[in-house]
Amino acid sequence: MDRFMQRLKQFVMWGGRLVVGICFIWLTYLVFDLSYILAEVKQLFRNFWLVVSMTCFYLAAFIIRAKAWQLYVGKQISLKVFIDGVLYSLFINHLLPIKAGDIVRTGHLAQSGKVAWKTALQSVVVMRLLDLLILGLIAIIGILYLGLSLSYLFLTMVLIGGGLLLGLLLLKEKWRNMLLVHIRQIISILFSAKGIIIFTLITVSWCLEAVVIFAVTTEFSLSLSYLQSLWVNSFTIAGQVFHFSPGGIGTYESFMSLALAAYQVPIKEAYTIAVITHGFKFIFSFAAGIYLILSVPISWTTIKHWVKRKED
Q: How far, CA to CA in Å, does 308 sit from each of 3, 107, 255, 293?
A: 20, 12, 30, 22
DSSP code at position 183? H
Cα separation, 104 vs 109, whole angstroms? 9
For residues 33 and 41, what is the distance between their CA atoms, to the nearest angstrom? 12
Greatest mean pLDDT among 29-43, 57-71, 156-170, 237-251 lies in 57-71
Is the separation of the CB atoms in 117 and 210 below 8 Å? Answer: no
Q: Look up residue 47 and give its DSSP letter.
A: S
SS (H, E, C) 243-291: CCCHHHCCHHHHHHHHHHHCCCCCHHHHHHHHHHHHHHHHHHHHHHHHH
- Span of 17-21, 33-37, 111-115 with lowest mean pLDDT: 17-21
Contacts for 264-269: CB closer than 8 Å, 24+ residues apart: 265/217, 265/222, 265/224, 267/27, 267/30, 267/31, 268/31, 268/33, 268/36, 269/220, 269/222
CA 92 remoteness from chain centre: 13
Torsion of CA 36, 38, 39, 43, to 10 degrees: 140
Tell me the pLDDT of the chain averaged across its residues: 81
3-state secondary structure 50-114: HHHHHHHHHHHHHHHHHHHHHHHHCCCCCHHHHHHHHHHHHHHHHHCCCCCHHHHHHHHHHCCCC
Predicted confidence (pLDDT) per residue in 201-250, tens digit: 999 999 999 999 999 998 887 778 898 899 899 888 877 766 666 777 87
Q: Which residues contact 194 (CB under 8 A, 6 or more apart)?
A: 71, 72, 74
Q: For the chain, how big is the Rg over CA atoms in Å? A: 20
Question: Per-residue pLDDT tens for 285-309?
Answer: 999 999 999 999 998 888 888 887 7
Do 265 and 224 meet the contact criterion of CB atoms below 8 Å apart? yes
Between the alpha carbon of residue 67 and those of residues 89, 172, 201, 230, 237, the distances in Å are 15, 34, 8, 21, 20
- Is 35 buried (19+), middle (13-18) or exposed (0-12) by CB count in 10 A? exposed
Please, which pLDDT band fits residue 67 given cuts at 50, 70 and 90?
very high
